[in-house]
Amino acid sequence: MTRVSQAVVVVATLTVGCGLPQAVAVDTAEADPEAIARSVAELGAPQFARREAASKALLDAGQPALGPLASAIRGRDFEVASRATEIVRDMLAADDTVLAAEAERVLEKSAEDGGKAARLAAAALDFHHVGMAASAREELESLGAVFRERPFVEQAGIEAEFAIGWKGTVADLRQLARLRGLTGVGFHGVRLDDEAVAVVGRLERLQRIELFGTGLSDKAVAALAAKLPAARIDFRKGGKLGVGAVAFGGPCEIRTVEPGSAADQAGIRPGDVVLAVDGNPVADFDGLTARVAGRGQGERVRLSVARGGAADGELERLEFEVRLDAW
């Protein structure tokens, strides 16, 4: 067992057949860095018994061993890196929630770094997340996230929406990685920072990302797009019109108008066809979205609209000035 100066260590009991710890507790302030370093070096020992003893010592050491183990995972020796990955994986099952959370972050970083054991780290995380999916969704829902099941005809999956009612933090967003079948996320009026973008950037299965009024810069969104090239990113700086339409080609006929929205207050009605925004022609709903996406809350836009129902059967062309809402 690793030497520990004035430390109290509870030795993990092992579940028969899987080798996962039932409990890992350690006085993290007193663990001996030199002993930990020696144990990490022993992971490459030719004798099986020495490697096993080193692995157990590092698992017993807990949190203080995570830094050296992370370095070993990024090292050049694949055998040592793979054994270090297994030890950190076992720490995911610790009753010590701080230790488990830090072990998860080590594996996330190792998977991102692209070292020799990156795939092993990613696989360990994936296996861990499968068992945590149900509790992760419940936790996110309790903090205000809304989940929707996508219809099979639209490629089945789960979409998560975070709006004004979201009460969680960036740490809570890490739970998204544990969800199975997550294909889309939407942030509407929720402020995001670089750490949150990094969390979203690890969700490789995403097909759609909505970023409405998040405060992110064009540079941050471009970096996210580079990380997730297969995902369609809908980025809007903050101005909200409050209309819905069919997004499968023109013309841009408004189908729905949210009650009380900027469009509603300006006089836009379902059935109106938007022809231009600030004099710039709009061919379809995607074109309207693109024109409004770059505008912020409180900015004014001028919509040129064709409306039917005139006595002579002709379309009436109207101009509306709309003061955009916030997401």
What confidence score (pLDDT) does residue 4 get?
36
Cα dist from 153 to 149, 157, 176, 314, whole Å: 12, 11, 24, 38
Cα–Cα dist 200/231, whole Å: 11
Which tens digit of pLDDT belongs to each residue from 107-145?
888 888 777 788 888 888 877 777 778 889 999 999 999
Cα–Cα dist 95/24, whole Å: 7
240, 261 Cβ separation under 8 angstroms: yes
pTM: 0.55
Cα–Cα dist 141/168, whole Å: 10
178, 100 Cβ separation under 8 angstroms: no
User: In which residue ranges of the chain is pLDDT below 70?
Assistant: 1-31, 151-156, 247-249, 309-313
What confidence score (pLDDT) does residue 130 get?
72
Cα–Cα dist 295/292, whole Å: 5
What confidence score (pLDDT) does residue 120 get?
85
Q: What's the number of CA atoms in the CB half-sphere (13 Å) around residue 155?
A: 9
What confidence score (pLDDT) does residue 151 get?
64
143-236 maps to CATH 3.30.750: yes
What confidence score (pLDDT) does residue 309 get?
66
**Fold classification of 239-326 (topology level):** Pdz3 Domain (2.30.42)
Cα–Cα dist 43/58, whole Å: 10
What confidence score (pLDDT) does residue 262 get?
93
Which tens digit of pLDDT belongs to each residue from 283-320?
998 889 888 888 888 889 999 999 986 556 678 899 99
36 Cα distance to chain centroid = 33
**What 3-state class would DSSP assign to 223?**
helix
Q: What is the residue-wise DSSP string for 58-103?
A: HHHH-GGGHHHHHHHHTSS-HHHHHHHHHHHHHHTT-S-HHHHHHH
